Amino acid sequence: MYRKNLFLLASCQCLTLSSTSLMMTTSALVGVLLAPAPALATLPLGLVYLSVMLTMIPASMLMKHFGRRAGFALGGGAGVIGGMIAGFGIYHDSFLLFCVGSSCIGIANGFAQYYRFAAAEIVAESYKSRAIAWVLAGGLVAAFIGPNVGNLTRDLLPGTYFSASYIALGLFSLGVVLIQWFIRIPLPSTEESSGPRRPLGRIMMQPAFLVAVLCAMIAYGTMNLLMTTTPLAMNHRLMAFDQTAIVIQWHLVGMFAPSFFTGHLIHRFGLFKIMFAGVIMLLSCILVALAGQTFPYFVVGLVLLGVGWNFLYIGGTTLLTEVYTPAEKGSIQGINEFLVFTTTAFTALSSGYLHHRLGWEALNRYTLPVIFLAACIIAWLGWRANGRKPQNTGIKIPAS
């Protein structure tokens, strides 16, 4: 039964990330056409992540009381509404409506961030990291669906760019709603709803919690800042939309293709080594971006960015699942997601302005200090945990 549920969760992930990849590829370009100023081109995508951030804690608490299925269906419904409003806004040249639709899409993405936690909850302890990775692997198919749907539908409605693409995005979300009829995730247990809880401050001061959250923030923030500005950087260098779609597509392959073996690598080599490998990939991405700004450099750099995100983000998620009890998971998962997507919202909201003011090369250089910070805290926690009894996920720290 758990294999069927993992497949259905991966399918939801695929549909949601098809929407996300479509937005990654098109949102900034739609913004350039509709926004009153070039610096506001990435505002709609920033609102997506701002809505994700604001949804995180309410979504977690709602699912704690009513179950994952109810939350995922509600999120899918928000995506349907958002896609239709955004498409309507583009058709009528309304930047405001496009922003409103983008915000609704962000609510849908907020609920979708819990697919990986749902996967970890329906499998045995020893399979947890692999279940998380397999659900995230649903994004590999999305890497090809989203950009290609955007490319095929951009001129489908006469006289407007990408209006039909966002209607298609709403249909992806409708698929998420329909899947909830077939998925089977247990309702919250008595222990989850009313079990003993430690003070939040005590949980959040655990070294494992701090490293898990900081690494997830750095992984998502760095990836999102560079990914969001890539279409603008390529457009500034007069590259065709087809080339931009290919770059984003292969970036998403880099993000999600490793998920087929990331869980196994964590189990085989240990969590900290894989997280550190993610840091090395992020540094390699920056070096490639600074070496050149032609099409091949964008492809290679964005693939490395995706792989680095995958290793660091899956590692951080796996580490986080070790620090809370069932009764604490709703609060801790919500706080983690809120902090991660606060960072993501900030990078998305500021990326258009920063690219406009600083340029592509300087933007890459400014990410180096936070990547080095990730390397330092991973090394610190690995040193701190050295010699303690290993757990079956490859993590060498106690649960609290």
Residue 97 belongs to a domain = yes
pLDDT, position 389:
46
Instruction: Return the closest-CA partner of residue 51 out of 109, 96, 90, 12.
Output: 109
Token pair listed for 100: 């409103």
Question: For residue 291, is pLDDT > 60?
Answer: yes
Residue 394 belongs to a domain = no
Residue 381 belongs to a domain = yes
Structural domain harbouring 32: 2-385
Q: How high is the mean pLDDT of the chain?
A: 86
Q: What is the pLDDT of residues 84-139, one digit of tens each?
A: 999 999 999 999 999 999 999 999 999 998 898 888 887 777 777 778 777 877 77
Mean pLDDT of all residues in 332-360: 84
Q: Report in angstroms the alpha-carbon separations of 9 from 2, 131, 279, 373.
A: 10, 10, 28, 33
* Number of structural domains in the chain: 1
Residue 399 belongs to a domain = no
Q: What is the pLDDT of residues 10-19, one digit of tens each?
A: 899 999 989 9
Q: What is the pLDDT of residues 165-176, one digit of tens each?
A: 999 999 999 999
Residue 393 belongs to a domain = no
DSSP 185: -
CA 7 – CA 185 distance, rounded (Å): 12
Mean pLDDT of all residues in 229-234: 87
Question: For residue 349, is pLDDT > 80?
Answer: no
Phi, psi torsion values for 53, nearest 5 degrees: -60, -45
Residue 398 belongs to a domain = no
pLDDT, position 189:
66
Residue 391 belongs to a domain = no
Phi, psi torsion values for 110, nearest 5 degrees: -60, -45
pLDDT, position 196:
77
Mean pLDDT of all residues in 367-376: 94
Question: For residue 181, is pLDDT > 70?
Answer: yes
CA-CA-CA-CA torsion sign (320, 326, 332, 338): positive
Q: What is the pLDDT of residues 240-274, one digit of tens each?
A: 878 888 898 899 889 888 877 888 888 888 899 99
Instruction: Return the closest-CA partner of residue 374 out of 217, 215, 226.
Output: 215
CA 128 – CA 130 distance, rounded (Å): 5
Counting residues of the chain whose pLDDT is more than 70, the rounded percentage is 94
Q: With contact defined as beta carbons under 8 Å apart, do 263 and 314 qualify?
A: yes
Q: With contact defined as beta carbons under 8 Å apart, do 269 and 394 qualify?
A: yes
Letter string b/e over residues 177-186, b meaning 16 or more CB atoms within 10 A of that residue's CB = bebbeebebe
Rg (the chain; Cα; Å) = 20
Q: What is the pLDDT of residues 41-80, one digit of tens each?
A: 878 988 988 898 889 889 988 988 888 899 999 999 999 9
What CATH number is given to the structural domain containing 138? 1.20.1250.20
pLDDT, position 144:
82
Residue 392 belongs to a domain = no
